[in-house]
Structure 1
Amino acid sequence: SSFSLFEQEEATLREAEHMIGQLGGVAQGVQRLADAYRQSYREQRRMVRLSDRLQLDLQRANQTLAAQAEELRKLNAALEQEATRREALARELHRLATVDGLTGASTRRHALELGRDAFARSVAAATPLAVLLLDIDLFKSVNDRYGHAGGDAVLQAFGAQCAQSFTGEAIVGRLGGEEFVVVLPGCDVAAAERLAEQHRSAVASREVAHGGTSIAVTVSTGLAVRRADDASLDRLMARADEALYAAKHRGRNCVVAA
């Protein structure tokens, strides 16, 4: 009947409207998904750009750190070189202050400092101590005849012989010009005389070669051994100096004990 036909059409329309409603919901869901994807895509692009900037910043920071590390390495190397240079300079200054450049003996100041220390130890331990004062004979005549170069050659040879004659704890110093001091810890008068005589003999037996000629050299020696009434090294040296004066007056080239 016509009534049934209308009912079917209405039912069909209702079903169609329901389907359209469902499609609308699906469309809204799709739209929401599309919006979410679009938001996620924009966020990812933002994060990628941020990551790129961070990577660039990190690269620049690493480059800066590498440059600073290289600069620090160079500074450390320069500091090490400067420290080495200063250590070498300090050693050289110490050598200049303590070693006579011509003869290799101790400088006057250094020899006397060492001698005073040895004197104090001798007093404290009640052990013997001898002092020799050595003077190259007629040295002025050597300079006059052979010039200062000849005199320097004699001084160099004499210093080398002192280093051979007086070893161990012996202190050898150049007091000035042709005069030398030798401090002999532990030596009594007999031992000191023996060493001094051996040195005198060695000097006299070896001429110094210079400028195609040979220079004869002798040495006068004054000797003194510490006594109880010697209050200082200076007093002991004064007695050795008196003995040296006596050696000169005996004709030089000899050893005299105070």
Structure 2
Amino acid sequence: MTRTIRAVGGTASEPAADSFSLYDAEEAVLTRTEAMLSGLSDVAGGVQALADAYRRGFREQQRLVRMSDRMQLDLQKANQRLADQRRDLQALNAALSGEIEHRTRLEAELRRLADTDDLTGALARRRFMESAAREWLRHARSGAPVCILMLDLDRFKLLNDSFGHAAGDAALVSFVAICRAHLRTLDFIGRTGGEEFAIVLSDTGLEGGAAFAERLREAVAVTPVPMMDAAMRITVSIGVAQSEPGETLENAMQRADAALYAAKDCGRNRIALRSGAQDLSGAAIRP
């Protein structure tokens, strides 16, 4: 409520010129307070908005961090799976390499068994014929002579019966070892039967083949054989044939085989030569 104070000497019905309200100062303070509160409200609203924005940013950052953590975990798991797969692949590759190596060895062993006589180490018959056919083609192209030798251990059945099959096997092994010691690198020997063998001498004529056969026959006759009595010796009969122009390998082997039988018919432990269609079993049989 406003109270009016009259000045001395004036009338009661007229207000004094310098009248004032007792609560004007309070009104001004309240007005300023309200203005300040209004300003504080605006500031508070701004602070609140800033806090909300910060909260949203913080939550988004938390979400991104969690997402990054999940991605890192997924990446770690993926890397672990890759590492496991790599180890599995390495183990598989090692197993495959081992299997390939095993198969390669097995294939080589099978090829060796197919190409080589298991007891003596001489070429198996099939492999010998293949090698002889290649040599025959080379001879046909170059015209260089080739000698075929057919060899048979004498009385081999009697040796087996007297000393046993183990001694017979030892005799075969010893015989092939003697032959190899006399062969050149370009020559080769094959086992064509039980105690029957064949030799191909490259670039060798009939006389050269005969000289080789004689040296071989003498070496076999003087070499003791394991598992046999020291006084016992094995002997060999040899048929020799030289290639003829235009002749097939099979025909040359037949002539060498016929010479072998001639050597056996004449007492064994000797060589016989056969050239072309002529049978030289008389003059060409050498004890």
Q: What's the CA shift string for 1:85-129, capped at 9, x where partnerless?
A: 000000000000011011110001100110011011101111111
The equivalent of 2:127 in structure 1 is 110
Q: Tell me the TM-score normalized by structure 2.
A: 0.84
Contact 1:131 1:181 in 2 (8 A): yes
User: Alpha-carbon deviation of 1:209?
Assistant: 2.5
The answer as to 2:154 corresponding to 1:137 is yes
Q: What's the CA shift string for 1:122-176, capped at 9, x where partnerless?
A: 0111111110001111111111111111111111111111111112111200001
The equivalent of 1:203 in structure 2 is 220
Structure 2 residue runs of 5 or longer lacking an equivalent are: 1-17, 275-287
Counterpart-to-counterpart distance in 2, 1:68 and 1:214: 70
The answer as to 2:253 corresponding to 1:237 is yes
User: Alpha-carbon deviation of 1:39?
Assistant: 1.1
Contact 1:218 1:253 in 2 (8 A): yes
The equivalent of 1:249 in structure 2 is 265
The answer as to 2:200 corresponding to 1:183 is yes
Amino acid at match of 1:89: L
Give the number of aligned pairs.
Answer: 257
Counterpart-to-counterpart distance in 1, 2:176 and 2:145: 25
- The 3-state SS of whatever aligns with 1:227 is coil
Q: What's the CA shift string for 1:192-220, capped at 9, x where partnerless?
A: 11111111110011121216655311111
What is the aligned-residue RMSD (CA, Å)? 1.8
Amino acid at match of 2:138: R
Structure 1 residue runs of 5 or longer lacking an equivalent are: none
Query: Which stretch shifts more, 139-148 or 52-61?
Result: 52-61
Which among 195, 214, 217 is matched to residue 234 of structure 2? 217
Counterpart-to-counterpart distance in 2, 1:117 and 1:172: 14
Residues 211 and 225 of structure 1, relative CA distance in 2, 3 Å threshold: closer
Contact 2:238 2:259 in 1 (8 A): yes
Q: What's the CA shift string for 1:49-97, capped at 9, x where partnerless?
A: 2222222222222221121111111101100000000000000000000
Q: Tell me the TM-score normalized by structure 1.
A: 0.93
Counterpart-to-counterpart distance in 2, 1:55 and 1:123: 77
- The 3-state SS of whatever aligns with 1:187 is coil
Residues 250 and 211 of structure 1, relative CA distance in 2, 3 Å threshold: closer
- The 3-state SS of whatever aligns with 1:209 is coil
Q: For residues 151-170 of structure 1, what are the structure 2 equivalents within 5 Å?
A: 151-170=168-187
Contact 1:208 1:214 in 2 (8 A): no
Residues 191 and 16 of structure 1, relative CA distance in 2, 3 Å threshold: same
- The 3-state SS of whatever aligns with 1:210 is coil
Larger relative contact order, structure 1 or 2 (CA cutoff 8 Å, min sep 6): 1
Q: For residues 11-30 of structure 1, what are the structure 2 equivalents within 5 Å?
A: 11-30=28-47
Structure holding more helix per residue: 1
The equivalent of 1:58 in structure 2 is 75
Contact 1:132 1:224 in 2 (8 A): yes
- The 3-state SS of whatever aligns with 1:251 is coil
